[in-house]
Each structure stands twice: as C-alpha cells, then as structure tokens.
Homo-oligomer: A and B are copies of this chain.
C-alpha cells in the first residue's frame, strides 16, 4: 500500500480504514483527494484481505467539501467557444464523479463515520457509501446551492433513494444545516454517538462484525442491494438467481452450516 497525500489508509483485522487527512484544511477535497481516492478504492477492491471499509475524517470535521481553489481553476481554464467549453466541463465533471463512483462500486461495504462539518461535496461522498454514522452534533448541509450551482457529483442522484423526497428537496433548495439527530430521523445516518471517540469505536465494532461474515455472501448482498437501486423487482429476482447459481457452489455455505451445527464461530477464507 503506497503513501497518500490527502489520505491515511490502514488495514487491520480485515478492516480498511480510509481517513481523509487534511485536518488543517477542514479536509477540503483538493486535486490529490480526487485522484487518490480512485487508487485507494481500486486497491481495496483488489485486496482480498480487506473485507470492509471505514471512511472517516481526521481532526474536528469530516470534510468541508470541494476545495474552492479547484473550482476557481476549472473556471479560469475555459476558452472562448461555449460549445468547446461545455465539452471540457462535461468531461471534467464526469471525471470528478468517477472518484465517488469508485466508492459506490467498491465490492466491499463502506461505512462513513462523520463528525463536525459535512458540507457540499462531503454529502456527495457519504451518499456513495453504504451506511452513515455520526456524532450527535455533526453538521450536514447541501452547500452547493450557495455556490450558485446544482450539486453534480452524486448528492442529487443518490440521496433521494436514502432520505424522503420531500425533505430531500427542502435541504437541496435551502442548504439548511441539520444535526445528527435530524439526520437520523430522516434516515441519512443510521445511528448517532455522543462523541467522536465513541463514533469511531462504534463504527469499527460494526465493521468488525461484518468482516467476520462470509466475504462471498457480503459482496453478493451489497451487489444485489446496489442493483435494486436502479432495476425492477423481476429483474432483480432473476439477477440473484444467476448470481447464486454460482455462489451457492462455494464452500462458504458448508462452512456456515457446519458452524451453525457445532454452535461455533464460522471462519471464512478471504
């Protein structure tokens, strides 16, 4: 595992802990961030030992979103022809989206642990994770509206599937800040914790629980749930039948069954 500038990455007990690591910049997402996150999640995807991911932010805040320098640069790189500018911007946006698609597409569950600010691009990021947990006093805001733009790296695409449609629109139109309590009430986070320490401990414990399950079963389950976000129930049923046609021939079922019979903990291969 190489070194990263915008992140600190560790792999312990089958849990990959990915930490945004620019606390002095409120973990703002700079060019390094957008490039490295793709590499990190490709590495996780390819590393059998990593079975589950925890994504957190170093320091007092999760992240303040995209680094405004990046936006300014993109603006100043434009030329005179509106059409050619549009082509360039379109490709740039698709490239930024690819960074968070890497999180969404990761074959292993990603748990976000959020404290302090979680603003703008940070909402786009956590919307691409599997589950979200926060401190009670975390602060969430779809900040893009105040930059004069529609959010374009995932919030408007993924969040409506997670929280209610009516509140989704209110938050997106107003940029209103909500805390952990309200976030839990509307389904944005699964659970809140009193402090950052308890948050991280709680999320790592949950990650450990997931890491102990059959990796084949966990990856299949994630794949199915993601598939259902965009497909019909009948297609989903047929899809899982195809999938399990191969996966039920894996040893993991026998391992699980034997453990169940002997009342012992199952040990699954990576």
Question: Is the Cβ of B84 less than 8 Å from the Cβ of A250?
Answer: yes
Question: Is the Cβ of B218 less than 8 Å from the Cβ of A255?
Answer: no
Bound Cα distance A16, B257 (Å):
37
Chain B residues positioned under 8 Å from A162 (CB to CB): 164-166
Question: Is the Cβ of A174 less than 8 Å from the Cβ of B249?
Answer: no
Chain B residues positioned under 8 Å from A253 (CB to CB): 71, 75, 147-149
Bound Cα distance A251, B75 (Å):
11
Chain B residues positioned under 8 Å from A174 (CB to CB): 206, 209-210, 213
Is A190 an interface position by the 8 A CB rule? Answer: yes
Is A36 an interface position by the 8 A CB rule? Answer: no
Question: Is the Cβ of B149 less than 8 Å from the Cβ of A170?
Answer: no
Chain B residues positioned under 8 Å from A25 (CB to CB): none
- If A166-B131, A167-B187, A234-B230 touch, does A216 touch B83 (CB 8 Å cutoff)? yes
Report the minimum CB–CB distance from A236 to chain B (whole Å).
4
Report the minimum CB–CB distance from A242 to chain B (whole Å).
5
Bound Cα distance A133, B244 (Å):
31
Question: Is the Cβ of B249 less than 8 Å from the Cβ of A152?
Answer: no
Is A214 an interface position by the 8 A CB rule? Answer: yes
Is A39 an interface position by the 8 A CB rule? Answer: no
- If A146-B256, A149-B253, A157-B233 touch, does A218 touch B268 (CB 8 Å cutoff)? no
Question: Is the Cβ of A86 less than 8 Å from the Cβ of B146?
Answer: no
Report the minimum CB–CB distance from A35 to chain B (whole Å).
16
Bound Cα distance A73, B144 (Å):
35
Chain B residues positioned under 8 Å from A71 (CB to CB): 253, 257
Is A239 an interface position by the 8 A CB rule? Answer: yes
Question: Is the Cβ of B147 less than 8 Å from the Cβ of A90?
Answer: no
Chain B residues positioned under 8 Å from A263 (CB to CB): none
Chain B residues positioned under 8 Å from A168 (CB to CB): 225
Per-residue 0/1 for A92-111: is the Cβ within 8 Å of any B Cβ (1 yes, 0 no)? 01100100010010000100
Question: Is the Cβ of A149 less than 8 Å from the Cβ of B247?
Answer: yes
Bound Cα distance A110, B154 (Å):
23
Our pick among B87, B145, B238, B248 for the contact of A221 (Cβ within 8 Å) is: B145
Bound Cα distance A150, B235 (Å):
16
Which 9 pairs show the lowest CB-CB distances between chains A and B? A83-B250, A148-B256, A150-B220, A86-B246, A148-B252, A246-B246, A82-B249, A164-B187, A157-B236
